[in-house]
Amino acid sequence: MSSPSVNPLREGIANRLAPEPCTLVIFGATGDLTHRKLIPALYNLAAEGALPPSVSIIGFARREKTSEQFRTELEEAARKFSRTPLDEELWKSFASSVHYHRSPFDDAEGYRTLAAEMDRLDKERGTAGNRLYYLAVAPDQFPVILDHLKASGLNRAAEGSWARVIVEKPFGKDLKTARALNGLVNEVFEERDTYRIDHYLGKETAQNIMVMRFANSIFESLWDSGHVSHVQITAAEPLGVEGRAGYYDTSGAMRDMVQNHLLQLLTLTAMEPPTSLGADAVRDEKVKVLRSLRPLRGDDVFRHVVRAQYAPGLINGQPVPGYREADGVPKDSVTETYVALQVNIDNWRWAGVPFFIRTAKRMPKGGTEIAVTFKSVPRVLFNSTGEGLDENVLVIRIQPDEGVSLRMSAKLPGSSLRIEPVKMDFHYGTSFGKATPEAYERLLLDAMAGDATLFARRDEVEEAWTFVDGIEEEWKTRKDDLAFYEAGSWGPAEAAELAARHGVTWRRL
Amino acid sequence: MSFVPGIAVPIGGIEKELGRLWEESGDDKTRASLINLAVYNEKEGSLQTNSAIVQGIAGEHAMRAILIEADPEAEGSSADSWINMHCYPRGSKGGAVCSEQISFRLGGLAARSLQSVVFSHLDSDLPLALWWQADFRTPVDGKLWRWVDRLLFDSRHWKDPAAQFAIVSEIAALPEARTVLCDLNWARGLPVRQALAGLFDSPSALPEIRRIRSLEITHAPGFRTTALLLAGWLADRLGWKLEKSGNSFLDPSGAPVALVLRESPGASIARLHVVSEGASFEVRRDPDSEQYVTSASGKAIPSSGRMVRAPREETREILLAELARGGRHPLYAKAIISLRDLW
């Protein structure tokens, strides 16, 4: 009798592609990402039975330690960061599949012994040569790791197996470096085996954007320039640069947030319906949005983009220093901690609709949202005086307090005709009491299942950089446009003016 | 003193009294609802039991709950009703999220006219899940069932499973009906199905799935049908046909697969043991354990296994899992049919 190629018992168990057994190698296993996100996510998946039992995890890092020490450290981290309480027995069971492999990233011998270790685990656990490499390291370490994976043949899977790589952002620091990085990765792994992680896409509400748009006829039929006045996409946080000054000062808000997270949210908001939910069908449509972004060049950059830096101020009533006073930040730094852009999407659907994108540190309140403001009704009947009749606004809250709200007008009770805005509000947390899985849980399972829908494709990343590079290049030509805003305020006056030129006021979260 | 499930209100004034209850409850309470959950039971005292269940799940699955304690054999017609709210703190700002509960005690004609009494109190445009905690009767009342989106029941309690399944199949097949059959007994077995499926994910273990020669399931007293559903699921998935003896199957190659059901105190499904020509696969839950232990061993495959979280076996947990899962259960009917002669 012939052997089945797929597990017939998996059908109907979960409404998703089944993750396949594999060995997961985490480069940078002693780092923050591994401790805070990856291991807690893998533990929860294993505890819920979502992770194939034969999955093995190898932590690859430079520091000297035993597997036992490694597991002990991870247990402490999981106890602290797991979204569910740590269960001793479940942890022991999960930890038995976790191993530590000490090696410098540039030591060929370390990869040879890694190969031997994976072969041993393949035999011991029956993972059949499936390998998933997670580069949880700084981008400057990518080349050496990728070169050695290639040189040692670990990038090539045996017949019937696969070898995939997960790359963490930043995907380069400009188009040139992104292309170089993508070229480097694709010299070692096929694009179909490359998974660029943007954890925003693993969030439930980001995934819900497509469901809301394409599973509800009332929204999609109004989702165009005929009905939408403008769109605001905001990601604000009260935190300052904290301990990331070294990285942040060379990056800034544009590269750190806009190029990836916010342009990803823009594409999900503006894309056409894909032909299917397949990874490439979805990503094809997202890329079309990026290609339709009107490039900003020359003086247009300074008309359409405001960059600013936070000065000392108050957060939650407590004084906080300005950006230039933070440890590791040069006193004359011109790195932006605030960016506001007005962009145009030159396609049939969105012609003439301004999209406003804003991200900032040291805002009074944190939150990420997409607000779609609809056009006003004609100025007859109720709004002939123009009083009390606000536009309809549909807000998709990505975090925190994930949900959707719709502002509309209603008559105040009474004999006179007075109209006030009211809000219909849907909160995920209110209706669905259970905690939603962490974005990394979903994304790790997807990578093991070979579903790249929620990962950025090479052309997405490069198109986003093409747009952002145009702005960065102009910024290099002058410094006098850098504005300042008080920490704890909603940003500089220049940003308010940018919006006001379109008759728009920035939303307060 | 008999249990009182809330504030007594006249049936005709339920919506008005609910409105008043909200007005008096303060601004910090938010009404939330994902579904209408109607629960029907013919046993005295069921309102108390079901109120406790609703209270237990409302914090995780907001709803309008409609509880019915019915005595359709009573003479005449009687109807009493009560309203109540179940509120749970939500978020850091001190607010609460509340689900509404309407309870009915119906006798005689009122109990036999469910659709007029109950369906006039549904939260409109939200799906109706009807949890039927009594035996299904014939003839099937199309007026009642065609409004039901999800029909919940627990086949574990069926005394005549074959007859009962025939009736629920008839309900699901009613013209214009969109009813999804949701057997809590099927939901109860999901973690075991998931754990067993995981053991065959490994490429080296997968070929063994076509060479299974015996299936042994140990179940707690009263959970024979849970075990049968598991066996039926495997039979359907692997193309096994039940032999007349009821003690074995024939696989697609004509080879026999022994079926053994054992009863033993403990978890509803304490052990599922599958032996193939080259390996052995086990899903086990020890008494009082909160984990399933899965393991695979044999000459043909590397040893593997893991411990996974086992859900609590209370009705509340199973109901919550079923409500959260949603969707249809296409394999359920197939599992039933493949073991029809053993029900």
Asked if pLDDT for residue A188 goes beyond 90, the answer is yes
Asked if pLDDT for residue B93 goes beyond 70, the answer is no
Question: In angstroms, rounded to a whole number, what is the distance separating the alpha carbons of residues A297 and A305?
Answer: 11
Mean pLDDT is lowest, of A99-103, A169-173, B139-143, B287-291, for B139-143
Is A53's CB within 8 Å of B329's CB? Answer: no
Question: Quick one: what percent of chain B has pLDDT higher than 90?
Answer: 50
Asked if pLDDT for residue A69 goes beyond 80, the answer is yes
* DSSP class of A293: B
Domain coordinates in residue numbering, chain A: 8-168, 201-374+456-500
Domain coordinates in residue numbering, chain B: 7-134, 188-342
Highest mean pLDDT among A115-129, B20-34, B78-92, B212-226: B212-226
What tens digit of pLDDT does each residue of A223-258 get? 999 999 999 999 999 999 877 888 889 889 999 999
What tens digit of pLDDT does each residue of B49-74 get? 999 999 999 888 889 999 999 999 99
Complex ipTM above 0.85? yes
pLDDT at A386: 57
- Is the model more confident about A35 or about A11? A35
- Which band of pLDDT confidence, cut at 50, 70 and 90, is reported for residue B2? confident
Question: In angstroms, rounded to a whole number, what is the distance separating the alpha carbons of residues A429 and A46?
Answer: 24
Q: Report whether the peptide linkage leading into residue A400 is cis, meaning its omega lies within 30 degrees of zero.
A: yes
**Residues 2-41 (B) with a CB less than 8 A from some CB of A:** 30, 32-34
What tens digit of pLDDT does each residue of A276-305 get? 988 899 999 999 999 999 999 999 999 999
| Assigned token pair, A113 | 């012994």
Question: In angstroms, rounded to a whole number, what is the distance separating the alpha carbons of residues A306 and A492?
Answer: 9
In terms of Cα–Cα distance, which of A24, A93, A100, A97 is closest to A67? A100
- Residue A244's CB: how many other CB atoms inside 10 A? 14
**Residues 175-234 (A) with a CB less than 8 A from some CB of B:** none
Mean pLDDT of the region B193-206: 88
> If DSSP codes are grouped into helix, strand and coil, which group holds residue B250?
strand
Asked if pLDDT for residue B295 goes beyond 60, the answer is yes
> If DSSP codes are grouped into helix, strand and coil, which group holds residue A36?
helix
pLDDT, mean over chain A: 90
Q: How far is CA B308 from CA A46, A336, B131, in A?
A: 7, 47, 29
| Assigned token pair, B267 | 């978890």
- Is the model more confident about A123 or about A320? A320
Task: Check: CB of residue B65 under 8 Å from CB of residue B101.
Answer: yes
Mean pLDDT of the region A309-332: 91
pLDDT at A498: 95
- Residues near B204 by Cβ (< 8 Å), separated by ≥ 6? A126, A128, B300, B301, B302
Nearest CA-CA distance, residue A374 and chain B, Å: 26
Residue with tokens 């165009």: A224
Is A430's CB within 8 Å of B200's CB? Answer: no
- Which amino acid, one-letter code, is at B324? A
Task: Check: CB of residue A53 under 8 Å from CB of residue B198.
Answer: yes
- Residue A190's CB: how many other CB atoms inside 10 A? 13
Partners of B186 on chain A (C-beta within 8 Å) are: none
| Assigned token pair, A73 | 């450290």
- Which band of pLDDT confidence, cut at 50, 70 and 90, is reported for residue A114? very high
CATH 3.40.50.2300 fits A8-168, yes or no: no
What tens digit of pLDDT does each residue of B223-237 get? 999 999 999 999 999
* B241-242 β-sheet, strand order: B241-242, B248-250, B256-263, B212-219, B269-276, B280-284, B291-297, B304-309
Q: Across the strands, what pairs with B79? A: B106
Asked if pLDDT for residue A2 goes beyond 60, the answer is no
Phi, psi of A258 (to 5 degrees): -70, -50
- Which amino acid, one-letter code, is at B244? K
Residue with tokens 């819900």: A208
Q: Across the strands, what pairs with A484? A: A309
Q: Across the strands, what pairs with B273? A: B216, B282
Domain covering A201-374+456-500 in this structure, CATH number: 3.30.360.10
Mean pLDDT is lowest, of A130-134, B111-115, B304-308, for B304-308
Task: Say whether residue A503 is in contact with chain B using an 8 A CB cutoff.
Answer: no
- Which amino acid, one-letter code, is at A453? T
- Residue B191's CB: how many other CB atoms inside 10 A? 20
Q: Report whether the peptide linkage leading into residue B139 is cis, meaning its omega lies within 30 degrees of zero.
A: yes
In terms of Cα–Cα distance, which of A471, A498, A170, A467 is closest to A289? A467
Q: Classify domain B188-342 at the CATH class level.
A: alpha beta
Helix axes A142-151, A108-125, angle to 10 degrees: 60
Q: Where are the alpha helices (DSSP H) in A305-342?
A: none
Is B302's CB within 8 Å of A48's CB? Answer: no
In terms of Cα–Cα distance, which of A47, A1, A112, A476 is closest to B210? A1
Q: What angle do CA A320, A325, A326 make, to 5 degrees?
A: 80
Asked if pLDDT for residue A72 goes beyond 90, the answer is yes
What tens digit of pLDDT does each residue of A450-488 get? 999 999 999 999 999 999 999 999 999 988 899 999 999
Question: In angstroms, rounded to a whole number, what is the distance separating the alpha carbons of residues B87 and B89?
Answer: 7
pLDDT at B67: 96
Nearest to A89 among B60, B206, B291 (CB): B291
Backbone angle region of B222, left / alpha / beta, with phi > 0 → left and psi within -120 to 50 → alpha:
left
Task: Check: CB of residue B230 under 8 Å from CB of residue B276.
Answer: no
Asked if pLDDT for residue B7 goes beyond 90, the answer is yes
- Which band of pLDDT confidence, cut at 50, 70 and 90, is reported for residue A384? low
A230 noted as active-site residue: no
pLDDT at A110: 95
